[in-house]
Chains A and B, each alone.
Chain A
Amino acid sequence: MGLIKYIIRRLFTIFVSIVVVIIITYILMWLAPGDFFNIAQFQASAGKVATLTPEQLQVLIKGFEEKYGLNVPLWKQIWNYLKDAFRFKFGPSFSNPNEPIEVQIARRFPVTFTLAILSMALAVLVGIPLGIIAALKRNTWIDYVSMFFSMLGSIIPAYLIGVIMVLVFSVWLRWLPSSGWESPKQMIMPVIAVGLGPMAVIARFMRSSLLDVLNQDYIRTAYAKGGPDRAVIMRHALRNSLIPIVTIIGPQLAFLFTGTVWIENLFRVPGLGQLFVNAASMRDYPLLVTSTFILSLSVMSMNLLVDIIYAFLDPRIKYE
């Protein structure tokens, strides 16, 4: 019961936080130099609007402002946006007037979600065992080799790993298609490129977390009770050492929902990252606000999920 109350309270906090974030985003956009119409039209027109008379320009501005709901005061724009956003209606974007943003997101979200989940699964399935082995074989060559590779994974940018993989597996060996997101074969390289970074982080966290737990009194007590090593590690050490890992997996996953733009560009993965990054660089305001909305929602939801998982992993944690 306590947990349900806690979740309801947190959901309310998420709602309020998102409203605040959106208001701040709108105000920042409003304060930024250059107005909506100028950005959208001047950039596209390469100076061609200069040939229009002021009256003609006014006609274009009026139509444009009406379409994007910019013909009302700022507070009303924010209100209109929030009213629709919580029903997942975001209207059209400057860069894609053909269809509403929610349709674009609905099409791209499953792609990003699949990429993020598969990459994170790879990161967890490889990173955790790697970290455990390194911790258990501390200061041996196994530890050094594991940590060397995890270090490589965290210092080499995913983009570079992607390019190297394309050269090796697509251009030279011709084993895998260089890009696209239609078949499982096309997913292999992007998933590895995205997953290596988090894998390295998880492996290093796992190692230090397990080492930390192994030095705790209760582990010594467990050993003193004469339990087999494997049972002590699996039952007592591993479970507790996973808590910090859960903490980093949540935000990492949220980041992957929007932070894979380079890999999306490289492998032609039609995901959310590309959409949202373009929104910022092209000052596509409707899309920019929506990306803030989605990103805030993802991060806050992931944090909530992590907190809930804590309760299952650590019986000492109680939510009131």
Chain B
Amino acid sequence: MRNKKGLIILLVLISVLLLSGVVSGQKEKVVSLPFWDTPGLIPYYWQAQHILAQGTIFEGLFGYAPDPKGLGGVKVVPVIAQSYKVSKDYKVWTFKLRKDKRWSNGDPVTAKDFEWSFRYYASPKIQDLPAWAGPLQFFENFWAVKSGAEDPSKLGVKALDDYTLEIRLDVPRYDMKEWLCVAQGVPIHRKSVEADPQNWWRPGKIVVNGPYIPVSWTPGKDMVLVKNPKYVGETGNVDKIVLKFGGLGLQQYMAGELDAAMIGNVAEYRFVMADPKLSKEFHEDVMDCFWNGYQWSRGFDPVMDNLKLRQALAMAIDREKLCKDVLGGRALPLAKYWPDGNPIGDKMKAIPFDVKKAQQLLAEAGYPGGKGLKTLVFYITGGGDPVVEFIVDQWKKNLGINVIIENVESGLYWNSYVWPSFSPDAKAGFTVIGAPMNNLEIGALFKNSDHTVWFYDFPTSARKRYHELNQENDAWLRKDGGLTQADWAPLLEKRKTLYETWKKIVDNEPEKLWKEDIARKPTWFERFDELYEKWKAAKTKEEKTNYWRLAGREITGQEIFQNWYLNLSKESKQAYRWRFRAINRPFSEAVKIAHYALQGMQDRYYMVPVYLAKAQWVKNPKLEGLMLYKFSWGPGFFNFKYLNLKD
């Protein structure tokens, strides 16, 4: 009898164990990965959470899927969108949504979620939305809504029914699918946001529509994500992901605390390659969404107007040697904005390394052997920069040119020397630049090289005038006056002369798309005339001053345009025409012709590619589907829904 009881208990225990998966080996699959330090989980901010929002905890109409041959290693695929149609002018996009998508609390994901979320992001309530980083900036009335001039209901988004969403744009956009992949393109859960506007995003409260739910985390500590049981769509087999911020990645990996780790420097790289076990777990890929190199400083010294000087400097750098000796094999030589082996790079011509030619060009530029050329300045930040030291050394050795290295405080460096339109205080010289794509979209294909057209390629006198006009334009915001007709007289006079020139520009511009852009309605003079009429009808002094100020800005805005257009080199104009052609066609088509514009801009030698960084990492051999993030925050890992952990 006792034996029988014992047998029954044993059988019950075995059954429980089998059911719980312990005996069958179905234990929880947990992966620990490094991630960027993330201050919150609100998706629309440009902090690290935007990367987590792209396909891991949130999803939008479209998303990224791995594609080793695609730009950035990704391709755009429909996620919540089932199908779409677009109007002929590419201004109205209509999406049919999948009906099986659910929020993590079980609510269906509908077109109304998108409509509400986009209006919420666009509303003045979100005062610091980084609109430049998302698709909303192109929505009809976005800027008027954001400024408070229009109600959010006027934003160009509408749920036609529960599963049909219409997006109307201010201007044609051929790459809306691409733009809708980014974090400002994902919806958030209305009920939970309205229930607790301050804390809806905290683990325990957050309702997501992606494959993973954050269940525990306080900023700075590990974040734990578990599989969203309500998620419908393709996922891997990983049940739990632990994200770790900071620390010694490689050592954490070696201690068994991480399943993958980025290699951060040459010493780590050499250590890994010398280790028999680690070297087998080593992987690398090129960061093709960047180019690293230098750009001329954005000051007003006429020395940089000399094309031959710019060419000579670009051709006198031994990029192979740099990558081997200085960067320790963690980069590839890059003498064009896109590398070989990709659809854009394959069609571009590289800057040659040719010291003799460089010396000849330098002599033709008026500085034989570097004689007569003033000492140039290479601005850096954060202490020494071995790449800059190498370049400066190459210029001295190959061309006899003296360049001094000047260290600048980081805030000043990025703000006043690297990314502004102009740097009035900068001496003739250079800054380093790592020019990234923030995300996949047509404008980003040019990797910021279009700054050549916008801010560089016209004579110094015109660049200086451009800067002064910019300042004048800002000054109009604070000007007093505009109460009498006499205040308008100079503006009306300028309007007349500017119109004559504008008309000539429109008539003579050969590129139809550019011409259309310049003449897009309402034109600057139509807006000016409307402001003038409003001024005449205005009742209060404040209104009158305001209309006068806005009209003044229209005038200086047009002066800026004309100063720019008329002084731009013919080569840059031609490159810009190609840019227009590229941005006015679908993404896949734009990729095919982007090289014309890129080549044109590269050949002006203001922004010069030097090397292409590699992303290097080690990973648990059992882990598959790890996606490398190659855009501007990269390298790192993202889009964890494809992770698979083999037994």
Contact A171 B251, CB 8 Å, known A43-B415, A44-B46? yes
22 contacts between A and B (CB under 8 A): A32-B412, A33-B412, A39-B411, A42-B414, A42-B415, A42-B419, A49-B132, A54-B553, A56-B137, A60-B146, A63-B127, A63-B128, A95-B39, A96-B39, A99-B198, A166-B251, A170-B251, A180-B222, A180-B244, A182-B221, A268-B220, A271-B220
CB-defined contacts of A56 to chain B, threshold 8 Å = 131, 137, 143
Q: Is B448 among interface residues, defined by CB-CB distance under 8 A?
A: yes
* B419 lies within 8 A of A54 (CB): no
**Those of A63-82 within 8 Å (CB) of chain B:** 63-64, 66-68
* A54 lies within 8 A of B39 (CB): no
Contact A59 B146, CB 8 Å, known A46-B448, A179-B247? yes
* A59 lies within 8 A of B143 (CB): yes
Contact A46 B435, CB 8 Å, known A52-B132, A179-B247, A266-B247? yes
CB-defined contacts of B247 to chain A, threshold 8 Å = 178-179, 265-268
* A44 lies within 8 A of B130 (CB): yes
Q: With both chains docked as a complex, state the minimum distance between the C-beta of B55 and any C-beta of chain A, in angstroms.
A: 20
CB-defined contacts of B76 to chain A, threshold 8 Å = none
CB-defined contacts of B146 to chain A, threshold 8 Å = 59-60, 63
CB-defined contacts of A180 to chain B, threshold 8 Å = 221-222, 244
CB-defined contacts of A58 to chain B, threshold 8 Å = 477
CB-defined contacts of B402 to chain A, threshold 8 Å = none
CB-defined contacts of A104 to chain B, threshold 8 Å = 39, 219
In whole angstroms, how far apart are the Cα atoms of A64 and B129 in the complex? 8
- Among A38, A46, A55, point to the contact of B143 (Cβ < 8 A): A55
* B251 lies within 8 A of A181 (CB): no
In whole angstroms, how far apart are the Cα atoms of A217 and B406 in the complex? 59
- Among B147, B410, B454, point to the contact of A62 (Cβ < 8 A): B147
In whole angstroms, how far apart are the Cα atoms of A54 and B244 in the complex? 40
In whole angstroms, how far apart are the Cα atoms of A106 and B132 in the complex? 32
In whole angstroms, how far apart are the Cα atoms of A292 and B612 in the complex? 40
**Interface residues, chain A, CB within 8 Å of chain B?**
32-34, 38-39, 41-56, 58-60, 62-64, 66-68, 95-99, 104, 107-108, 111, 163, 166-167, 170-171, 174, 177-182, 265-268, 270-271, 274, 281-283
* A46 lies within 8 A of B124 (CB): no
Q: Is B252 among interface residues, defined by CB-CB distance under 8 A?
A: yes
Q: With both chains docked as a complex, state the minimum distance between the C-beta of B180 and any C-beta of chain A, in angstroms.
A: 17
Question: What is the 8 Å Cβ interface bit string for chain B, positions 212-249, against chain A (1 contact, 0 not)?
Answer: 00000011111000000000000000000000111110
| Most chain B CB atoms below 10 A, which of A45, A47, A167 | A47
- Among A48, A97, A171, point to the contact of B132 (Cβ < 8 A): A48
| Most chain A CB atoms below 10 A, which of B127, B131, B477, B557 | B127
Q: Is B104 among interface residues, defined by CB-CB distance under 8 A?
A: no
CB-defined contacts of A268 to chain B, threshold 8 Å = 220-221, 244-247
Q: Is B632 among interface residues, defined by CB-CB distance under 8 A?
A: yes
Q: Which residue of chain A has its CB nearest to the CB of B124?
A: A63
* B218 lies within 8 A of A266 (CB): no
Q: Is B451 among interface residues, defined by CB-CB distance under 8 A?
A: yes
In whole angstroms, how far apart are the Cα atoms of A278 and B599 in the complex? 38
Q: With both chains docked as a complex, state the minimum distance between the C-beta of B268 and any C-beta of chain A, in angstroms.
A: 12
| Most chain A CB atoms below 10 A, which of B137, B198, B219 | B219
Contact A50 B254, CB 8 Å, known A32-B411, A43-B414? no
CB-defined contacts of B40 to chain A, threshold 8 Å = 96-99
* B256 lies within 8 A of A174 (CB): yes
Q: With both chains docked as a complex, state the minimum distance between the C-beta of A80 and any C-beta of chain B, in angstroms.
A: 16
Q: With both chains docked as a complex, state the minimum distance between the C-beta of A106 and any C-beta of chain B, in angstroms.
A: 11
Q: Is B133 among interface residues, defined by CB-CB distance under 8 A?
A: yes
Contact A98 B39, CB 8 Å, known A50-B421, A270-B219? yes
* B45 lies within 8 A of A98 (CB): yes
CB-defined contacts of A98 to chain B, threshold 8 Å = 39-42, 45, 47, 49, 201
CB-defined contacts of A177 to chain B, threshold 8 Å = 255, 257
* A63 lies within 8 A of B222 (CB): no
* A66 lies within 8 A of B127 (CB): yes
* A265 lies within 8 A of B137 (CB): no
* A50 lies within 8 A of B451 (CB): yes
Q: Which residue of chain B has its CB nearest to the CB of A57?
A: B132
Q: Is B420 among interface residues, defined by CB-CB distance under 8 A?
A: yes
* B412 lies within 8 A of A178 (CB): no
In whole angstroms, how far apart are the Cα atoms of A51 and B253 in the complex? 41
Q: With both chains docked as a complex, state the minimum distance between the C-beta of A10 and any C-beta of chain B, in angstroms.
A: 34
In whole angstroms, how far apart are the Cα atoms of A228 and B435 in the complex? 76
Contact A266 B248, CB 8 Å, known A34-B411, A46-B419, A104-B219? yes
Q: Which residue of chain B has its CB nearest to the CB of A66?
A: B127
CB-defined contacts of A59 to chain B, threshold 8 Å = 143, 146-147
Q: Is B567 among interface residues, defined by CB-CB distance under 8 A?
A: no
CB-defined contacts of A97 to chain B, threshold 8 Å = 39-40, 42, 45, 47, 128
**Those of B170-229 within 8 Å (CB) of chain A:** 198, 201, 218-222
- Among B124, B127, B128, B448, point to the contact of A47 (Cβ < 8 A): B448
Q: Which residue of chain B has its CB nearest to the CB of A60?
A: B131
* B246 lies within 8 A of A265 (CB): yes
Q: Other than the known A45-B130, A52-B137, A166-B248, what 7 A-B pairs have Cβ atoms closer than 8 Å? A: A34-B411, A46-B632, A58-B477, A64-B127, A98-B47, A174-B255, A270-B219
CB-defined contacts of B130 to chain A, threshold 8 Å = 41, 44-45, 60
Question: What is the 8 Å Cβ interface bit string for chain B, positions 18-50, against chain A (1 contact, 0 not)?
Answer: 000000000000000000000111100111010
CB-defined contacts of A42 to chain B, threshold 8 Å = 414-415, 419-420
* B131 lies within 8 A of A46 (CB): no
CB-defined contacts of B132 to chain A, threshold 8 Å = 41, 45, 48-49, 51-52, 60
CB-defined contacts of A39 to chain B, threshold 8 Å = 411, 414-415
In whole angstroms, how far apart are the Cα atoms of A244 and B502 in the complex? 78
**Those of B554-590 within 8 Å (CB) of chain A:** 557
Q: Is B473 among interface residues, defined by CB-CB distance under 8 A?
A: yes
Q: Is B368 among interface residues, defined by CB-CB distance under 8 A?
A: no
In whole angstroms, how far apart are the Cα atoms of A60 and B131 in the complex? 8
* A178 lies within 8 A of B411 (CB): no
Q: Is B436 among interface residues, defined by CB-CB distance under 8 A?
A: yes
| Most chain B CB atoms below 10 A, which of A46, A49, A62, A174 | A46
CB-defined contacts of A60 to chain B, threshold 8 Å = 130-132, 146
Q: Is B620 among interface residues, defined by CB-CB distance under 8 A?
A: no
CB-defined contacts of B41 to chain A, threshold 8 Å = 98
Contact A48 B124, CB 8 Å, known A33-B416, A104-B219? no
Q: Is B634 among interface residues, defined by CB-CB distance under 8 A?
A: no
* A34 lies within 8 A of B412 (CB): yes
In whole angstroms, how far apart are the Cα atoms of A223 and B386 in the complex? 65
CB-defined contacts of B66 to chain A, threshold 8 Å = none
Q: Which residue of chain B has its CB nearest to the CB of A67?
A: B127
* B477 lies within 8 A of A34 (CB): no
In whole angstroms, how far apart are the Cα atoms of A96 and B127 in the complex? 14
- Among A38, A95, A179, A274, point to the contact of B420 (Cβ < 8 A): A38
